[in-house]
Structure 1
Amino acid sequence: SFMQSTTSLATPADLNAPVDTQGQLDINSVLKNRPPAEAQLSPREIAAKTHFEAMFAKGLQLTVESIFTGETFTLTKPARFLGWGSTAIVFGLHRVKAGGASAPQQLAAKINVRSLQELQHLSSSQKKTALEDIQERFLREESSARNALQHVTPETALEHGVLFPVDVCRISKLFSGFRAGNSYVILPVLALFPVFTCDLQQVVKSGLSRAAKLYITRQLLQAVAWLHANGVAHNDLKLENVLLSAEGKAVIADFGFAVKLGTASAIQFTAPYLDPQTAEAVLQKKTKTTASEERDAWALATLLFLLWCGSFPYVSDEQADLPTSDLLKLLVTLGKTEKPAPNFHLCKDLPPAVGHLVTGFLQWNSDNRSRPGDVLDDFLAATVSEGASA
């Protein structure tokens, strides 16, 4: 089982150096001026979003039941569109408990959706089975972090920069085939989270200041180190899985691939962030690999390189879009031949401590790779007096 260490119960180091305070202000400014959440949606997604909003405006209420406690409550308007992920549409909704026992609470409802196009080739019985499997996978993945760290409340996790769901629920009385627009089917499962403004991918090219990037870096290193201290590997660290609040708080989200450190588990990944050891295992057609801090370290460094330098460390944007097997072959070949050092020439105003951190995480030999928990204190100390200039 997952056991809490003393570290897991400790209060996270207060990040209140001048650079952190300036970083918060700068992130807030960028978020205020960012394009609306729907700016990147396709016409089909816009139609689904608009249909959903209209249904809530007409009085749609979702009655849901927690898979953790069995408690039943209602989600009601006003519905505020927050985003669209690979498996879900996200709205800000009000949670109302039975009998009005407490004031309505606004939460982000991550509602499972599926494109009808994906299902059109299936027979009725195949479609029914596929949708049931999709629902169960959603419930399993969204509850994985809570199940992995059963003694850690969502509130405690959030203090450490880790976003657990407040609840994961089944939707009652939602008829089969309930649609949003003409292109998507709504599945009767959802996860509830505190409301965050956007993900890091959406603002990484918005001209974040040096202070903003350093504040995000300090928070993410602290969060990953805390996860590892609690025996959990995230296994899918990437820009899209970092959420930002209006106050500048950065948190790690989406624990669908998370597993206990040291255990063998099915290989799941986002290819451009994958470390060379796991990439080689995939190419060798291995179905399982042992979860490690070193894999997360490589992915974290890739994320940070994108944040500071605007590119992947070892591949171009075009190469990152290659078919998965081609991209993994390229990575493995580099690791066995040239073993290049990270090229920081595109990294504007990179603090030396960040360059050192990223280099330590991007060692081709995993035995030589730094681990977040081992370098956290030194990195926080090395960057605490960084100037807060933009």
Structure 2
Amino acid sequence: MQKSGSSSSLGPGGLDLTQAFFKPILNTAPPSPTKRHTKISVIGVGNVGMAIAQTILTQDLADELALVDAKPDKLRGEMLDLQHAAAFLPRTKILASVDYSVTVGSDLCIVTAGARQIPGESRLNLLQRNVALFSNIIPPLAKYSPDCILLIVSNPVDVLTYVAWKLSGFPSNRVIGSGTNLDSSRFRFLIADHLDVNAQDVQAYIIGEHGDSSVALWSSISVGGVSVLSFLEKQQIACEKETLDKIHKAVVESAYEVINLKGYTSWAIGYSVASLARTLLRDQRKIHPVSVLAKGFYGIEDGDVFLSLPAQLGRGGVVGVTNVHLNEEETQRLQHSAHTLFELQSQLGL
């Protein structure tokens, strides 16, 4: 299912239209070997996968985009729908196939495929079904693109990032989960809305599990470079813990609210993942709260557990983890989050 234009490039009498349309320049030098060709593959063309794909296209992040899914008709339909927008988009070659060979030579592989929870199904059973699914996805990606960065978006993202790391055999710096990057964006929005400022001027992180045990780093929030909690203390303004907990609860519940209202989340995660792709592929060295191998950071010693920490990202993947100051309560909550995830993944037998 490669990129389709007209059904044939041949004109009358078998004349190739490309040759007829352009007069070639003879004795030209080959293309410069220094020119970079960027390829991104998206595995899973559901609502999340397609929101990511279209955001990548509109933001001109790839020269080539490959889509993979188990449903051939849905896959071809999505590919054609994107291709038909070619006149309105930066030039990107779009490929699609049920065969993972279409991903060969990818710089970044984004995995959104995942099993949906059946009503009444336990979290562990859902996770085990997703592990079985990942065992058919990750090895072929690693085979066809051995130097790529794996970016896991499927939920539960932290444990599945660990699973992807184990199945790929990649170094941990090249296996990343989307983690709390979106949670932190929601957090910044709610704080900005509360203070009536631009969210881009708010520095704030949610770390830990992408889920109920996530940790809001209130001690490190700043607006325009001013520490919020320190400012409130100096102004002798009481900031009730109840208000802070209410904002954090709204962050945790916001995804559920969107799902209840429209059935799924898509646009925000599309922008979130595209921002990660830009930082990684353009070596921007920006700091994002993403799921990384956390052992040895902030007193986390619970085995090889992945959870979100503020990490500097670049062309090689995770460059380092930011040494953000955590107060005692935040440290304890983060370690508890790590322990919760470790207990869950230890039941998988990987």
Higher relative contact order (CA 8 A, sep 6+): 1
Normalised to the residue count of structure 2, the TM-score between the two structures is 0.29
TM-score (norm 1): 0.27
Larger radius of gyration: 2
